[in-house]
C-alpha cells in the first residue's frame, strides 16, 4: 500500500551513518574526516574498558577517556565533563554506549558546539536525534537544538552483542515505541511512516533470534538497523502520550528508562487506538493480534519483557500523582487526555494486566 499523503512538511536529520560488524575500526578515519585531532571518549563507568579499547584503537587522536556518564544526563555531570573537555583541549567527542552516554556527548556539544561521533551499544536511538533530555533538581527537561544532533554514527553489531538478554528486549521495545508513536504523529510524512514500519519489522524478525542467541551478529545487525530507523523517526516527528507517561515515570519517580517504555507501550497504544485505528492497524498485522495493543503486549511478553510497573518499585499510591504530572503541559496526543482513563491505564500497567481491549 502506498504511503502517499496529500500534504506534509518534513526535515530529516543530517547525519553520516556507517554500518557493519567491525566498523568501529573506522573511528580514527571519521575523526580525521571531521578535521579533529583530539577526541574525548565518553562512556558509563561499566563501559570504561570499551572506551579505553577505542582510545587505544585511535592512538594519538585520543585526548583520553571520561567514563562518568550517568542515566538521565544530570546537569552537574555534564558541567564537569564539559569543563574537562575544555581543559584538555578536546576538539570532538566520541560517545560509546547507550542513551546515557550519548546524552553526555550531546550535553557537551550543546555547551561547546564540538562535533560528535556516536558508537551505540543499545537500541535507544538517541544518536539519531537533535534532542537532549537532562535532569536537575529532580526534574527532567528536554530541548531540541542543531548543536545536539551527532554528526556521525558508527553502528557496529559486535558492540551490541554484549547487551544482556533482558536489556536487549527492553531496549528494543524502547526503540519500537518511537516508531509506534511515529505512526500517528501530527507531523509525520510518508518517509517517517516507511521508516517506522521498516524498523518495527526489523525488530519483529530479528529480536527473537537475538534472544535465542545474543551473539548472532546477523540478527544483532538487523536489530541495530531497526534502532537506527526508529531513532530517526524519533528525531524527525513529535512524540505523544506514551513518551509523556515514560518521561513522567522516569523523571519524577526515577523508574528505569527502557523497562518503563517496555511496560507502558502496549497500554499507551491501546489508549490511542480508539482515536486512530487506521494508523495503528499495521501493528496488528505485523505482530499478529486482535488489536495493536494486544499484539504488542503478546510480542513483548513472549520475549520475557517486564509487564508490571510495580516490579520496578513504583507504589500504587504514586499513580494519582503520575496522572496529575502527565496531564500538566501535555504533549499533543491523537486522543484527548482523560484523567480517569489514564488512571485506569496506569493501574493496569502497574498490576501487569494486559492493555484495555
Binding residue (CB under 6 A) for ligand NAD from 63, 81, 124, 169: 124
Binding mask 61-100 for ligand NAD (x = CB under 6 A): ----------xx------------------------xxxx
Regarding 306 and contact with ligand NAD (CB under 6 A), the answer is no
Regarding 129 and contact with ligand NAD (CB under 6 A), the answer is yes
Burial status of residue 248 (CB atoms within 10 A of its CB: 0-12, 13-18, 19 or more): buried
The CA distance from 223 to 229, in Å, is 10
The CA distance from 64 to 124, in Å, is 25
Q: Give least dist CB 193 to ligand NAD, A.
A: 19
Regarding 52 and contact with ligand NAD (CB under 6 A), the answer is no
Q: Give least dist CB 97 to ligand NAD, A.
A: 5
The CA distance from 6 to 174, in Å, is 30
Q: Which is nearer to ligand NAD, 62 or 100 (CB)?
A: 100
DSSP E strand stretches across the chain: 16-19, 39-42, 62-66, 92-97, 116-120, 131-136, 139-144, 152-155
Q: Which of residues 144-163 bind ligand NAD (CB under 6 A)?
A: 159-160, 162-163
Q: Which is nearer to ligand NAD, 203 or 295 (CB)?
A: 203
Q: Which is nearer to ligand NAD, 53 or 356 (CB)?
A: 53
Output Rg (C-alpha) for the chain, integer angstroms.
20
Regarding 182 and contact with ligand NAD (CB under 6 A), the answer is no
Burial status of residue 294 (CB atoms within 10 A of its CB: 0-12, 13-18, 19 or more): buried
The phi-psi region of residue 125 (left if phi > 0; otherwise alpha if psi is between -120 and 50; otherwise beta) is: left
Q: For residue 184, how far is the Cα from the chain centroid?
A: 18
Binding residue (CB under 6 A) for ligand NAD from 30, 39, 47, 286: 47
Q: Which is nearer to ligand NAD, 168 or 272 (CB)?
A: 168
Q: Give least dist CB 142 to ligand NAD, A.
A: 7
Is the CB of residue 253 less than 8 Å from the CB of residue 193? no
Binding residue (CB under 6 A) for ligand NAD from 82, 116, 122, 223: 122
Regarding 101 and contact with ligand NAD (CB under 6 A), the answer is yes
- SS3 at position 212: helix
Is the CB of residue 104 less than 8 Å from the CB of residue 84? no
Pairing of strands 39-42, 62-66: parallel
Q: Which is nearer to ligand NAD, 94 or 132 (CB)?
A: 132
Q: Give least dist CB 315 to ligand NAD, A.
A: 22
Binding residue (CB under 6 A) for ligand NAD from 119, 172, 258, 349: 258
Amino acid at each position: 500500500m502506498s504511503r502517499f499523503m496529500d500534504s506534509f512538511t518534513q526535515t530529516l536529520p543530517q547525519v553520516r551513518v556507517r554500518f557493519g560488524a567491525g566498523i568501529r575500526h573506522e573511528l580514527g578515519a571519521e575523526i580525521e574526516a571531521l578535521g579533529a585531532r583530539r577526541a574525548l571518549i565518553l562512556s558509563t563507568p561499566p563501559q570504561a574498558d570499551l572506551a579505553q579499547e577505542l582510545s587505544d584503537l585511535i592512538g594519538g587522536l585520543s585526548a583520553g577517556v571520561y567514563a562518568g556518564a550517568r542515566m538521565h544526563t544530570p546537569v552537574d555531570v555534564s558541567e564537569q565533563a564539559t569543563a574537562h573537555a575544555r581543559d584538555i583541549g578536546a576538539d570532538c567527542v566520541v560517545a560509546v554506549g547507550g542513551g546515557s552516554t550519548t546524552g553526555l556527548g550531546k550535553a557537551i556539544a550543546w555547551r561547546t558546539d564540538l562535533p560528535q561521533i556516536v558508537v551505540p551499544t543499545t537500541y535507544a536511538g538517541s544518536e539519531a536525534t537533535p534532542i537532549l533530555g537532562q535532569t536537575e533538581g529532580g526534574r527532567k527537561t528536554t530541548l531540541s537544538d542543531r548543536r545536539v544532533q551527532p554528526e556521525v554514527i558508527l553502528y557496529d553489531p559486535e558492540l551490541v552483542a554484549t547487551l544482556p538478554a533482558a536489556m536487549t528486549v527492553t531496549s528494543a521495545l524502547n526503540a519500537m515505541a518511537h516508531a509506534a508513536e511515529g505512526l500517528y504523529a501530527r507531523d509525520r510524512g510518508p518517509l517517517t511512516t516507511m521508516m517506522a514500519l521498516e524498523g518495527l519489522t526489523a525488530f519483529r524478525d530479528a529480536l527473537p533470534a537475538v534472544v535465542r542467541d545474543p551473539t548472532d551478529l546477523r540478527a544483532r545487525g538487523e536489530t541495530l538497523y531497526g534502532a537506527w530507523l526508529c531513532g530517526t523517526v524519533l528525531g524527525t516527528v513529535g512524540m505523544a502520550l506514551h513518551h509523556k507517561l515514560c518521561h513522567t515515570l522516569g523523571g519524577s519517580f526515577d523508574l528505569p528508562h527502557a523497562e518503563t517504555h517496555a511496560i507502558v507501550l502496549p497500554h499507551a497504544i491501546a489508549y490511542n487506538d480508539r482515536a486512530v485505528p487506521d494508523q495503528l492497524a499495521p501493528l496488528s498485522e505485523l505482530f499478529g493480534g486482535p488489536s495493536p495493543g494486544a499484539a504488542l503486549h503478546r510480542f513483548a511478553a513472549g520475549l520475557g519483557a517486564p509487564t508490571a510497573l510495580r516490579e520496578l518499585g513504583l507504589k500504587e499510591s504514586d499513580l494519582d500523582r503520575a496522572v496529575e504530572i502527565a496531564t500538566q503541559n501535555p504533549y499533543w496526543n491523537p486522543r484527548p487526555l482523560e484523567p480517569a482513563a489514564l488512571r485506569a491505564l496506569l493501574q493496569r500497567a502497574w498490576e501487569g494486566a494486559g492493555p484495555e481491549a
